[in-house]
Amino acid sequence: MCGIVGYVGDRQALDVVVEGLRRLEYRGYDSAGVATVTAGVLHTRKRAGKLGNLEKMLAESPLPASTVGMGHTRWATHGAPTDRNAHPHLDDDGRVAVIHNGIIENFATLRHELEQRGHDLRSDTDTEVVAHLLSEEFEPAGRDLAEALRRVCRRLEGAFTLVAVHAEVPDVVVGARRNSPLVVGVGAGENFLGSDVAAFIAHTREAIELGQDQVVELRRDGVTVTTFDGEPAEVRPYHVDWDASAAEKGGYDHFMLKEIAEQPRAVADTLRGRIGPDGRLHLDEMRLSDDELREIDKIVIVACGTAYHAGLLAKYAIEHWTRIPCEVETASEFRYRDPILTRSTLVVAISQSGETMDTLMALRHAKEQRSRVLAICNVNGSTIPRESDAVVYTHAGPEVAVASTKAFLTQVVAVQLVALYLAQVRGTKWGDEIAAHVRELATMPEKVDQVLDTVEPVRALARTLVDARTVLFLGRHVGYPVALEGALKLKELAYMHAEGFPAGELKHGPIALIEDGLPVVVIVPSPAARSVLHDKIVSNIQEVRARGARTIVIAEEGDAAVEPYADHLVRIPRVPVLLQPLLATVPLQVLACEMATAKGYDVDQPRNLAKSVTVE
Ligand code: M6R
């Protein structure tokens, strides 16, 4: 949720840190701060608001040159987003600085104990206790900052990534990780820490993934990783296969626009290497044997937000292809209702970031019940795939905009792959039927591209909708999750009330909302595949239009039945019914992005949101 960068080397630490924070700003942007050490003195600057405010402060009040530093962008959990609560936080003497991502659950007790011992805590944050505890432990730990941090970590409860520097060890940065992400970037004569690799990708593509409950000590010439108990820890070095330009805007006004445009490539990359010449699927990271896959008698999907909508779509694909009963649940609700899980239940955790705490906790609950867990994830080596039995990576590349676009499309592709793969292994459908669908799947990059070529009128339409008080989205079958996704995009980007409904529910209540001029977006199923459903939704369009709604209809090419009832018609290519969401979602992404732009809102960093929600 917060962005963290650490650096030790020969360059100006502040330049590296601020550049890293810029790349991580999508993680949180309530406030930002930095700390550096120069000649045995700790220096900090911090400011509420976006990173630009901190940069302005640094320009007005520069820090002395330093080759050791760290920085933070915050998404507030404890304490308002003010200068005072911005990170770094210091001990009483201003010798130790700490930045933090996560929540320290026992901070109130620790704070009380520290105050009893005479410490003066100046912020409302949970983080500040760590600075004071580190200060207390520094001498007893033999002035070894890593050892002091290990001692402190053993006393903390909750989820945290911590990074700290100390005025008296000016060539060291230390970090700790429990349940929140932290990655080491390994350079030549310099080393980095980051909440994710975007923080240091401009400098090195060699990374080390820290595991749970590990402490890292970073020096110019080396990296030492231990457990919280001080034992040498096993680490996984890896090479990052995307470069800095992939995380830049590449000429687009917003990352979101760039990421929408990247969808054909993202879908193609997610399919690449997984379809054999005979149409058979190969999922190399599946890591569950065919026998294990044959034992599955129930599938439960857990995810949040947009990933949950991909999960809803997975149910249609999984039940159709495999005939295995499939449930979909919002991850934050899952473990609190005592779900029925057995060894033969497969839990599928879908997450772009692989760090969403609600999804991670659902996954852990499933593992405690001995269920097998399959992750569908975009970030290589993140916590969710690491803790899962199997993984299918979506190869969307880095998604920076808070609103998920290309990650969603690739999640939808991945769930299709999983459903078809299970059908292949379990023999629930004929091989040629699977191969025919796989061939259709392989054409989707081109078809998404065709949709992107025709969205200009959607932009113009969006500009006419900015004064609407509410927008309704209707869909049936796989169009229903698309309707939910369209509504979510509009809420998070254009700060507008929007609701997605199954169109069949209209007459059970929502139709009362229809009034003159109310925009209603309708996703129309293919007339070919399920004509009854198609005809029913055409009736639904007529019903809302008769009551004054302004209808915006997304329908396949050649579907003439919708024409008389559509105030605005958006055409998408004809594809098999289960694949239609890959196309129908795209105009809705464009609609929301354009409405937010027209309203003057920050498209990439909508208010109150963070890219990865790493607290529950
Ligand atoms: O990283 P995850 O896929 O686990 O994130 C889940 C949701 O937080 C995320 O999809 C969120 O709803 C997006 N902002 C939607 O655009």
At 476-500, the pLDDT tens digits run 999 999 999 999 999 999 999 999 9
Residue 529 reports pLDDT greater than 70: no
Q: Could you please state the CATH topology (level 3) that the domain comprising 250-442 is classified under.
A: Rossmann fold (3.40.50)
Least confident of 26-35, 45-54, 147-156: 26-35
CB of residue 351 inside a 6 A radius of ligand 1: yes
User: Judging by beta carbons within 10 Å of its beta carbon (0-12, 13-18, 19+), is residue 179 exposed, middle or buried?
Assistant: buried
Query: How far, in Å, is the centroid of ligand 1 from the Cα of 199?
Result: 20
Ligand 1 touching residue 226 (CB < 6 A): no
CATH of 452-598, one of 3.30.9.10, 1.10.10.10, 2.60.120.590, 3.40.50.10490: 3.40.50.10490
What's 232's DSSP letter?
Answer: B
Asked if residue 247 has pLDDT above 80, the reply is: no
Burial class (CB in 10 A: 0-12, 13-18, 19+), 220: middle
Closest ligand 1 atom to the C-alpha of 356?
4
Q: Is 378 in the pocket of ligand 1 (CB under 6 A)?
A: no
| Whether the predicted pLDDT of 264 surpasses 70 | yes
Q: Are the C-beta atoms of 274 and 400 separated by less than 8 Å?
A: no
**Res 250 pLDDT > 70:** no
Spatial distance between the Cα atoms of 559 and 542, rounded to a whole number of angstroms: 15
Helix, coil or strand: residue 603: coil
From ligand 1's centre to the CA of 439, what distance in Å?
Answer: 29
**DSSP state for residue 179 in the 8-state scheme:** B
Beta bridge partners of 520: 472, 551
Q: Can 153 be counted among the known catalytic residues?
A: no
**Predicted pLDDT of residue 224:** 97
Residue 411 CB–ligand 1 contact under 6 Å = no
Dist. CA 615 → ligand 1 center (Å): 13
The pLDDT of residue 530: 60
Distance from C-alpha of 190 to C-alpha of 195, rounded to nearest angstrom = 17
Give the closest residue (by CA) to ligand 1 atom 8: 305
Bridge partners for 179 per DSSP: 160
Q: 3-246, what's its fold? A: Glutamine Phosphoribosylpyrophosphate, subunit 1, domain 1 (3.60.20)
3-class DSSP assignment, residue 42 = strand
181-225 pLDDT, tens digit per residue, is: 899 999 999 999 998 888 999 999 999 988 889 999 999 999 999
When pLDDT is averaged across residues 37-55 and rounded to a whole number, the result is: 94
User: Is 2 annotated in the active site?
Assistant: yes
Strands 96-104 and 89-90: antiparallel
Residue with the bigger pLDDT between 23 and 413: it is 413
Structure confidence by residue, pLDDT tens digits, 359-409: 999 999 999 999 999 999 998 778 899 899 999 999 898 898 999 999 999
- 338 token code pair: 């005592």
The reply to whether ligand 1 has any atom less than 6 angstroms from the CB of 310 is no
Q: How many CA atoms lie within 13 A of 403 on its CB side?
A: 34
Sequence spans of domains, the chain = 3-246, 250-442, 452-598
Q: 485 to each of 58, 326, 521, 528, how far by Cα in Å?
A: 40, 20, 12, 24
Across the range 330-347, mean pLDDT stands at: 94
Strand order in the sheet with 31-38: 41-48, 31-38, 68-74, 3-8, 191-194, 183-186, 206-209, 236-239
Confidence label for 75 from pLDDT (cuts 50, 70 and 90)? confident
| pLDDT score at 430 | 84
CA 221 to chain centre: 33
The answer to whether the 250-442 and 452-598 domains have the same CATH topology is: yes
Point out the ligand 1 atom lying closest to the alpha carbon of residue 305: 12
